[in-house]
Structure 1
Amino acid sequence: MYELSFWAWLEEHQLPCLLKGVFGIECPGCGFQTAVLLLLKGELWESVKTYPGLIPLAVFVGLAIAHFMGVKKIAPGVIKFAGFVCLLIILISYLLKLIIH
């Protein structure tokens, strides 16, 4: 009897990209699920290569959650800056992916 590992099961059950399925081009979020799985496995560098915006996105979400939970030392300007940097990294890596591939 064939037994799947947890990681193999997660890799086989990733959600498909609707934009890629309909139009044949990747969206700015393509690679996110794979990068999360790689990060959870401890493969940080592979995760960053797969989706460069994952770590900045995690920092942004963490700052936003901490701010909304009542941490007063996190100024809204810091959250906006982190969000802008995150968006910039995602868009630049997406454009590079479209140009190179």
Structure 2
Amino acid sequence: MVIFTRELINWLEAHQLPCLVKESIGIECPGCGFQTAVFMLLRGEIVNSVKTYPGLIPLIVFLALAAGRIAGIKKISPGILKITGFVCLIIILISYLLKLITH
């Protein structure tokens, strides 16, 4: 298991992948800010993480539910996965549209 130390988080943050959409077109994509928000979350900056990328926490919940369903937890129904996935998608798209409008 990987232990996320401050040095590792700082190194990963300094070596983030560039957004190809932003580099080629000049506008941010719906995923812009995701990496930064993950690093903020790993450092314990939950509020700043949510401000940077509002869809991160719902995405983590969705991925955890999906992993649980794949692992064989029968109480996680496909309907719950669809609803959480849809909510996650809506949050990401609304925050992206708001970012485009305000910037």
Same-fold status (TM-score > 0.5)? yes
Corresponding residue for residue 65 of structure 2:
63
Q: Which runs of 5+ in 2 are unaligned?
A: 1-6
Partner amino acid, structure 2, of 1:78: I
RMSD: 1.2
1:77 aligns with 2:84: no
Question: After TM superposition, where is structure 1 displaced by more than 6 Å over at least 4 residues in a row?
Answer: none
Structure 2 counterpart of 1:51: 53
**What stretches of structure 1 of length at least 5 have no aligned partner?**
none
Deviates more, 1:71-80 or 1:5-14: 5-14
Spell out the pairing of 1:77-96 with structure 2 (5 A cutoff). Answer: 77-96=79-98
**2:40 maps to which of 38, 41, 53:** 38
Paired with 1:6 and 1:66, the residues of 2 have a C-alpha distance of 28
**Cα shift at 1:11:** 1.7
How many residues get paired? 98
Match of 2:3 in 1: none
